[in-house]
Structure 1
Amino acid sequence: MTERPFDDSRLLEELASRRLLAIVRGTDADAALRTVVTLVEEGVELVEVSLVTPGALDVIRGARAALGETAGLGAGTVLTAADAREAAEAGASYLVTPALGEAVAAGRRLGLPVLAGALTPTEVVAALGAGAAAVKLFPASLGGVPYLRALRDPFPQVPFVPVGGVDAAAATGYLRAGAVAVGVGSPLVGDAANGGSLDELRARIREFRTAL
């Protein structure tokens, strides 16, 4: 991993080269931390910790301490300006939002790249206008790969990251359709962030890395 700090260009470079953003959402903070560290140890170098996870800010702090200052660690489900500020203070390098809202502008004011959630063409334009580094196509499962292809006709240069219902097979389809990367939660993480098997997590990681 490069040593320079995260900014828009580095986030885009990491998405384009790694092709996979892991989304950690669970019910147990300690298990979520172990999951983040395992993902990175197994070569998944972009990991988002959803703020709906109990103790998510502590998970981000712990992961930052364990993984170092330049690790690709982000905060997800960022909804408010307060969420953005607290995530930045905890050590998040970038923010991921499920929709357009105050968190996008707040992230930009904090100097963090933002992967902003959007679904419709109007929302894509608004996300770009708000300063999003990339567009999280969410929920991607509503339209699937054909919808991404349709969006790329008017927006060929927009870096789309489909999220929502993306398993290994779907990930391949989205990437072939032009997505810069895919965001994957439960099909990759499974129950690891709830205290499930890390060995099974490692097996799923190998499956995804092979597919991608």
Structure 2
Amino acid sequence: MIKLMKRSLILSSVLLSFGLATSVDLQQAIAAELNDKVDKTHDEADEKLIYKINHHDYELYTDVLPVRTDCYIHRDVESSLLLSDYIANQAIEQGMTKFGSAISDNIAKQYKTEIIPKFKEVISDTTKGFSTNDWVTLKWSTQPSSGLGEKIIHLYNGDSGKDILRFHVRRDQRPKQGYYFNFHYHTMFDNYESHNELGIVYWGKDMPPQWSSDTHDV
């Protein structure tokens, strides 16, 4: 499978593993996204994007690892891209759920073409430096907030429950201009203090309905 993906640029980092397996959620997410991108051949059907390799396969194994271990994680760079694609698709689905038909009918196109590509870059930047344990414990929320809440989707550590990345949308009213939707994100790296803007989508002069509404009632 990896050979089919542009012969694949292999990420040169070496990640230690002590019998630690990747999470089922992560494997399924990457596998599901991969099935949409390449056709599996019979010989390569069992290849994984994140997998353990015997140390005899690498001559420099004992020179680069600081401690002795039986195997380490070999991670293809495409796995991070596929994960970003998958989570971005989740953000689209959860965004549509959050907006409700009353709002999504008007902003869905801009959300998908202007906001999501920028959010996907943020996901890639956030996950590219992940340790083995970070990959294993990575999870994402499935319930966007309704009403007037800002939450679209959060990435978090499944063990600690601590949020890693928060993708939000805020309603802004500008005098004499109308209402705007401000899409932004917060990260754990500064304790969620910074407001990192991804883009602004104009709604109109009238107050938008609450999130998840199927009517235009405010």
TM-score bin, normalised by smaller chain = under 0.3
Structure number with greater CO (CA < 8 Å, separation at least 6) is 1
TM-score (norm 1): 0.24
Which structure carries more helix by proportion?
1
Larger Rg: 2
TM-score (norm 2): 0.23
